Amino acid sequence: MAQRLRCPRSARRADNDILDPVIVTGYTAGRTHKLTPGEKAANRVLAVGRAPVEHGFAHLKNRRILTKLRTDPARTTQLLRALLALTNLEVNR
């Protein structure tokens, strides 16, 4: 997994394979490297896609749904996906 995160940007691809997830991170500026306009635009695209998911988790935490969840991990994943989908529908109204 760590090697996949460190692979060259050209080799990264987003896919929906549950057994082999891909983590997409934004660009970061360093002391000597400022972000180019393209990198800033890519970060904005990631932020737009990340915001509804983060809001969904915030709603789940505020409703305390995740505090005492004791079930099979596969079932938990299905439940979380369903709850996030419903929350995103509510947020996007």
Contacts for 60 with CB less than 8 Å, ≥ 6 apart: 66, 80, 83, 84, 87
The total number of residues written for the chain in this structure:
93
Give residue-wise pLDDT tens across range 7-31: 444 444 555 555 665 667 889 999 9
Q: What percent of the chain has pLDDT over 90?
A: 17
Tell me the pTM. Answer: 0.47
